[in-house]
Amino acid sequence: MPHKKLIISLNGQEGSGKSTMAAMIAEKLEIPRYYMGQIYRDMAKEKGLSLPKFRKICDADPSFDNKIDDFVASLPQKQASFVIESRTAWHFIPQSIKIYLRVNSKIAAERIFKNISEKNNRDNEDANLNTVENIEKSILKRREEDSERYFSLYGIRQDDEKNYDFVLDTTNLDINDVFEEIITFINEKSN
């Protein structure tokens, strides 16, 4: 049964399980899910670019980020309850329940490699993502780039855990354990 008004912003490191959790939370609470990463992927595809090449353009031209951030900031006026997976939603929707998932970079790389191998769901956006070691290097590089990007755009550190209401390390947890901990926190926070 959906809550009257419940906004959950979810951020986290690559491979922490944030997309899986966002989908599970949305289904459990019967509320819509917004995935900003997919919007970036769609924008890259529209331009005929790989995601890494599109990110480089975004680094030089903040108008793409501004477009997405305006959308994020306007969501609470359009939708009473939703889950949003985004690097900056905690900042643009301060009234949300702010959740951050962290994970050891090697474990994250193993999870991503397994996911790519099983589902090939990254659309070959980066041909270098062919080993766990390369994925881990990519993760660490992207963490640094994202951190600098959002600091230069907004003066915020999206990976600073002090910005969140709930932080969970998913390194040694399975999907169901992560989900139970998050749902328990959401229920406590929203009552």
* pLDDT given at position 124: 47
How confident is residue 174, by pLDDT bands cut at 50, 70 and 90?
very high
How confident is residue 52, by pLDDT bands cut at 50, 70 and 90?
confident
The yes/no answer on whether domain 7-184 falls in CATH 3.40.50.300 is yes
127 pLDDT above the threshold of 80: no
12 pLDDT above the threshold of 90: yes
Tokens 């399975």 belong to 174
Instruction: State if pTM tops 0.85.
Output: yes
Joined tokens for residue 32: 């819509």
* pLDDT given at position 51: 78
Mean pLDDT of the chain: 88
Q: Residue ranges of the alpha helices (H) in the chain?
A: 18-29, 36-46, 51-60, 63-78, 89-92, 105-119, 132-154, 175-190
How confident is residue 128, by pLDDT bands cut at 50, 70 and 90?
low
How confident is residue 121, by pLDDT bands cut at 50, 70 and 90?
low
In the chain, where are the structural domains located?
7-184
- Mention every residue, 6+ apart, whose C-beta is less than 8 A from residue 22: 10, 33, 35, 83, 84, 85
Report the C-alpha gap between 145 and 14 in whole angstroms: 13
Q: Which residue has the higher pLDDT, 27 or 123?
A: 27
Q: Output DSSP code: residue 58.
A: H
Joined tokens for residue 35: 């995935």
